[in-house]
Amino acid sequence: MDELTDDALTGRFRVWQRAGGHRYSLDDVLTAWEATRQGVGARRYLDLGCGIGSVLLMVLDRLSTVEAAVGVEAQELSFALAERNVARNGLASAVRLVHGDLRDRALQAGLGIPFDLITGTPPYMPVGTSTPSPDPQRRYARVELRGGVEDYLAAVGKLLADGGRAVVCCDARTPERALEGARRAGLVATRRRDVVGRVGQAALFSVWTFAREGSLEVAEPFVARDAEGRRTEDYFAVRTFFGLPPSRRPS
């Protein structure tokens, strides 16, 4: 494995990431942030396509009620880092990591169901709409080579407990994909929060909450930067929520 960086994830947890590979980003942070609010009281937690373990660890840092946690990841480099990151943060005995494709029915059946809380951060680019990265880890994190939001929601439909919540992010430009994927999986959207990179710009992605039943609430958009490009108070509030210092240094 190539050069790794050692980065703060929360006030308690740190992760190793490949310097030239896929790295955790705002979609991971805000998916975990929404999940901790929607999954209050969750005891069984599943992260689909857990990557290096970033969302999984952020949720576990904030939800003390979780008694059993599972992460599923197919990409070899990411899975190896997830194992290392879970172990380095003292959670090897509390987290089960499964190396495999989340679409695999046999894998799904072996996870043990149901789960009170499920998270997922699918890739956004359909096959053929962009040139895949030559780096294998970044390639699968960006392009839907193992499926997109519909496939994640299909798995959620099989694994989510009655009364449970699933928090999944997807491209803000195609909300119909999330809504139709949910319908096919026997789910409904109960919350949507769009994420805007900078004031005045179109939303980058949306963080959705799904359940077996309910009605849709549209939350105020999360805006990461103001019109001058400075981090917003909402951005600092999320850092504080995860126990990180609310640094206001330019970035």
pLDDT in tens, 128-156: 877 888 988 888 787 778 889 999 999 99
> Which architecture characterizes domain 4-241 according to CATH?
3-Layer(aba) Sandwich (3.40)
Q: Where are the domains of the chain?
A: 4-241
The tokens describing 200, both together, are 């005045």
The tokens describing 170, both together, are 């997807």
What would the pLDDT profile of 76-125 be if each residue is shown by its tens digit? 999 999 999 999 999 999 999 999 999 999 999 999 889 999 999 998 87
Q: Please name which of 240, 206, 243, 241 lies closest in space to residue 222, comparing C-alpha atoms.
A: 206
Tell me whether residue 245 is exposed, middle or buried, using C-beta atoms within 10 angstroms of its C-beta: 0 to 12, 13 to 18, 19 or more.
exposed
Angle between helices 26-38 and 233-241 (to 10 degrees): 70
> Alpha helices of 89-230 — where are they, by DSSP H?
105-110, 136-142, 149-159, 175-184
pLDDT at 77: 96
Query: What is the average pLDDT across 13-39?
Result: 96
Q: What percent of the chain has pLDDT over 70?
A: 98
pLDDT at 125: 78
pTM summary value: 0.95
Query: What is the average pLDDT across 223-241?
Result: 96
Q: CA-to-CA distance for 38 and 80, rounded, in angstroms?
A: 29
Q: CA-to-CA distance for 156 and 140, rounded, in angstroms?
A: 20
**Tokens 């990431």, located at residue:** 17
Quick check: 169 and 197 in contact, CB under 8 A? no
Q: CA-to-CA distance for 140 and 118, rounded, in angstroms?
A: 20
Query: What is the average pLDDT across 57-74?
Result: 97
